[in-house]
Amino acid sequence: MRRYLTLIYRLVSISWMQAMEYRTDFISWLLVDTGWSLMDLIFFSSIINYTQVIGDWNKGQSLIVLGVFRLLVIPVWGWMFNSFHLLPRLISEGKLDMIITKPADSQFLVSTRGFSFSIIPSLISGAIFIFMGFSLLHSAPGIFQIAVFLWLIFISVILMYSLYFLTMTAALFTDRLDNIYHIFTALYDSSKYPAQIYPVFWQHFFTAIFPLALMIVVPAESLFTSLNIFRLIQFHFLTIIFLILGRWIWFRGLRRYSSASS
């Protein structure tokens, strides 16, 4: 464990040095992320001013959900995307052996290839949106609610990683699939909306088959509604299933992988 923590520290340090080497690009992406946060706020505010509720959420609750969404943008774009986006090319060009032959777990190595710090504004905007939401609700979460929320955020990150990694394993079973890393990020945006706005089929799809609807909603709703025990069990169960499934398919795929020297 200590060995892998040291590896993570060094990889994060390298990513930070690379970001500081191209500071203009770094600052540009900081502004882009700030712009996305503002656009999300404007979009949700425009909808809620006309409808008063989105699904089962009022304006205050919607802002809390939006805040949680912006917070979880950080691991998606700041960690997972940067680690996974070159994986299909490495596989199709037969260069993955440069990673899997190293004396460390192959899944760990492909999952920690890069980190981005230009996503920091989402941390600030997410916290602000949550604060604005509670201000509109004229309430504040208790210590127990905050503890449960932090645990569910942790589980959400694991579920996100599991689903993202699972989609990336498809690159091991095709000749060329360079843009597959966009599938998860495109679907991720749908997780900031309540499942009730979708047709029944898609409600079940996004909660049971590809549980994107749970990643944002479960932690956010723990802050302003009573906990649904069934949904909590489902949330943890699916996280474990997808984590195990992704790792199993990854090693099955490695058996059929052919390097450039093969």
pLDDT at 68 over 80: yes
92 contacts 171 by C-beta, under 8 angstroms: yes
CA angle at residue 119 from 113 to 123, to 5 degrees? Answer: 125
CA angle at residue 121 from 117 to 123, to 5 degrees? Answer: 90
pTM for the full predicted model: 0.87
Tell me the domain boundaries of the chain.
Answer: 2-255
Higher pLDDT among residues 30 and 193, named by residue: 30
pLDDT band, very low/low/confident/very high, at 260 (cuts 50, 70, 90): very low
pLDDT at 180 over 90: no
The reported pLDDT for the residue numbered 241 is 93
The reported pLDDT for the residue numbered 262 is 47
pLDDT one-digit tens code per residue, 103-122:
889 899 999 988 989 889 99
pLDDT at 240 over 90: yes
- What mean pLDDT is predicted for residues 132-149? 90
Buried b (16+ CB within 10 A) or exposed e, 205-242: bbbeeebbbbbbbbbbbbbbeeeeeeebebbbebbeeb
Q: Looking at the DSSP assignment, which residues form a beta bridge with residue 54?
A: 57
